[in-house]
Amino acid sequence: MIEFENVALRYGPAGASAGSREVLRDLTLIVPQGSFRWLLGPSGAGKTTLMRLLGLSLRPTQGRLRVLGSDVSSASRGTLAALRRRIGVVYQDFRLLGHLSVYDNVALPLRIAGRPEGQIRADVLEMLRWVGLSGRSDARPNALSGGEQQRTAIARAVIARPTLLIADEPTGNLDETQAERLMALFKEMNRLGTTVIVATHNDAMVARHPAPALRLVDGRIHERRSAS
Amino acid sequence: MSRLVERQRQRHARRLRPAGFDEFGLRTAMADRILPFLVAAMSFLALLALSGAVGAANLAREWRHGAGSALTVQVPHAQAADAQAARASAVLAALRDTPAIAEANLLSDDQLGDLLAPWLGTGVERLSLPLPSVIEARLRDGRDLPPDLAGKLDSIAPGTLVENHGPWLARLTALARSLQALAALALLVVAAVAVAVVAVATRAGLVARRAAVEIIHGLGATDGYIAGRFATRAMRLAGWGGVFGALAGVPLLFELAHLAAPFARGGEGTSAPSALIGTLPALPVLAGAIGWATAQVTVRRWLRRLR
């Protein structure tokens, strides 16, 4: 479960209002475990910042945020690391490691989690087959197209079967067929118990896959059910 | 309990990670030339300082052992040969009765001849010189020369001279200790510089691989996981630097052994460098340990800036 209680986030010097900018404010909401949410809103509304809060890259400057049962403000560094291993993130800019192959990029979360190499190999090859990158496993990210990089980033985010999956514009570089395939994967993971939050501008995609939506406007959130 | 399980899991992960898997790209970010070269130079300097310390300590020990407890007693020549032998025997007996004296021996004519050969040539006995009898004595360890000994021996054989080597030896010992202290200080400075060099190299690696560190941190890697990867790299590079520094120091050690030999007991002794040669394998180990520990601390402190 994810629980926001009067959460605000301000960029800039800590504790100073002058020279800082409040990006998120008065966020109070609950996302139950195993649910699916769209995250909608215009550019600059704070979607990426909210994603970074959920990915534990940022800490709220005000209020309380609980992710997967832990209060992120008071959790120890070890607890936060363990929490991050249960969270899969698809970044808008992919954030692949350029000096590693596609295979090693996708295998990374499993290696960090200490899985046996034999199991890693089987899982990664299966995942690469699923996202259509079987023939590109030895390629470096800079040799991939935008769509291939996005699929690599998605494979890395889901390979460890996370409890929470957050994706920032995951279909931006994918064609319609690949985007639908990706949505099928997200929905299947959601059916198996993963909480999925997808930020997107793709209204057609949202319309095809109706689900409750969190709409961010000017740093504040409005929860609503998307149009079916 | 959960922390224990987590540590075991991390150890397990390290064992399973494929050989050569370099998720942070440290083979290029912490290059394998500058750091080993600098650590090799530090190791070489450490070896020099260590040579000074061990050499000074050994020479001081040699001197203490060889001369520190030694006395030379000269019994002047008497007109009658029988009287000379009796005077020398009486002095020898008095010395042997003194509790502070461990050992006293009258030098034979041959030994005396050997002693004077450098000045008077061989066959001293043929010159018919009025040579004194010479007794070499050794004080017991930790005992000082009894202040009344010279007077006592003079009363037995007037004109008897007691030459104590203690005072000049005390000065030499103080000099050797000062040299040791200076060498220890130099070692500390070298170690501090080595720590600084490794810290700078590690920080440069962190800056160069900041994006990778942030991504891997975001994937759930613990501080220990990240610091461990940097520390392993720093340990290898510093360890190799230690190996090169130690190898470069070997010829120097033998040269020092050669130079120090005349001052050591027996003339040809090489005890100081032998002790140092024993410490050569410790240099790469120490350099590696400094590299590992410094990188661990540097990375863990740097990671504090990440959530």
Tokens 């501090």 map to which residue?
B192
A16 three-class SS: coil
- Integer Rg of chain B from CA: 32
Asked if the model's pLDDT at residue B9 lies above 70, the reply is: no
Contact A95 B212 (CB under 8 A): no
User: For residues A196 and A186, is the Cβ–Cβ distance under 8 A?
Assistant: yes
User: For residues B65 and B146, is the Cβ–Cβ distance under 8 A?
Assistant: no
Q: Which residue of B has its CA nearest to A113?
A: B13
Mean pLDDT of the region B38-42: 93
Q: Which residue of B has its CA nearest to A83?
A: B220
- How far is the alpha carbon of A59 from chain B, nearest alpha carbon, in Å? 7
Return the structure tokens found at A109: 């979360």
pLDDT of residue B2: 62
Residues B57, B58, B64, B70, Cα dihedral to 10° = -160
> Parallel, antiparallel, or unpaired for β A36-40 and B101-106?
unpaired
CA distances from B302 to B22, B96, B202, B231, B299 (A): 20, 72, 10, 13, 5
- How far is the alpha carbon of B13 from chain A, nearest alpha carbon, in Å? 4
Asked if the model's pLDDT at residue B268 lies above 50, the reply is: no
Q: Which residue of B has its CA nearest to A105?
A: B23
CA distance B202 to B39: 14
CA distance B292 to B307: 24
pLDDT of residue A102: 95
Nearest by Cα to B61 from B216, B176, B202: B176
The amino acid that residue B102 corresponds to is A
Mean pLDDT of the region B255-282: 66
Q: Which of A213-222, B10-19, B37-46 has the lowest mean pLDDT?
A: B10-19
Mean pLDDT of the region B290-294: 97
pLDDT of residue B38: 93
User: For residues A101 and A137, is the Cβ–Cβ distance under 8 A?
Assistant: yes
> Parallel, antiparallel, or unpaired for β A164-168 and A87-90?
parallel
Task: Specify the DSSP class assigned to residue A35.
Answer: -
- How far is the alpha carbon of A109 from chain B, nearest alpha carbon, in Å? 6
Tokens 């397990």 map to which residue?
B12
Residues in chain B: 307
Contact A97 B16 (CB under 8 A): no
| Mean pLDDT across chain A | 89
Return the structure tokens found at B37: 């070269």
Q: Which residue of A has its CA nearest to B28?
A: A99
Contacts of B218 in chain A (CB under 8 A): 55-57, 84, 89, 95
The amino acid that residue A146 corresponds to is G
A166 three-class SS: strand
Closest residue to A57, CB basis, from B18, B218, B223 = B218
The per-residue pLDDT for range B190-207, each reduced to its tens digit, is 999 999 999 999 999 999
CA distance B247 to B228: 28
The per-residue pLDDT for range A13-25, each reduced to its tens digit, is 665 555 677 889 8
Q: Which of A35-39, B178-182, B298-302 has the lowest mean pLDDT?
A: B178-182
Mean pLDDT of the region B172-178: 83
B7 three-class SS: helix
Asked if the model's pLDDT at residue B265 lies above 70, the reply is: no
B98 or B258: whose pLDDT is higher? B98
Q: CB contact, 8 Å: B189 with chain A?
A: no
CA distance A95 to B104: 86
Residues B200, B203, B205, B208, Cα dihedral to 10° = -120
Q: Which of A12-16, A205-209, B76-80, B153-157 has the lowest mean pLDDT?
A: A12-16
The amino acid that residue B22 corresponds to is D
- How far is the alpha carbon of B173 from chain A, nearest alpha carbon, in Å? 55
Contacts of A100 in chain B (CB under 8 A): 23
Contacts of A115 in chain B (CB under 8 A): 13, 16
**Tally of CA atoms within 13 A in the half-sphere of B61 that contains its CB:** 9
Mean pLDDT of the region A136-147: 92
- Window 248-307 of B: residues touching A by CB (8 A cutoff) are 307
A91, β-bridge pairs: none
**Using 50, 70 and 90 to split pLDDT, how confident is the model at B185?**
very high
Q: For the stretch B19-37, what's the b/e string if a residue is b when 16 or more beta carbons lie within 10 angstroms of its beta carbon?
A: eeebbbbbeebbeeeebbb
Contacts of B220 in chain A (CB under 8 A): 81-87, 109, 112-113
B8 or B54: whose pLDDT is higher? B54
Contact A56 B12 (CB under 8 A): no
Mean pLDDT of the region B55-67: 70
- Percent share of chain A, pLDDT over 90: 61
The per-residue pLDDT for range A142-195, each reduced to its tens digit, is 999 988 999 999 999 999 999 999 999 888 878 888 889 889 989 999 999 999
Asked if the model's pLDDT at residue A223 lies above 80, the reply is: no
- How far is the alpha carbon of B17 from chain A, nearest alpha carbon, in Å? 7
- Window 194-223 of B: residues touching A by CB (8 A cutoff) are 211-212, 215-223
**Tally of CA atoms within 13 A in the half-sphere of B263 that contains its CB:** 16
Return the structure tokens found at B304: 């504090």
Asked if the model's pLDDT at residue B4 lies above 90, the reply is: no
pLDDT of residue B133: 85
Closest residue to A114, CB basis, from B9, B22, B215 = B9
B48 or B18: whose pLDDT is higher? B48
The amino acid that residue A11 corresponds to is Y
The amino acid that residue B106 corresponds to is L
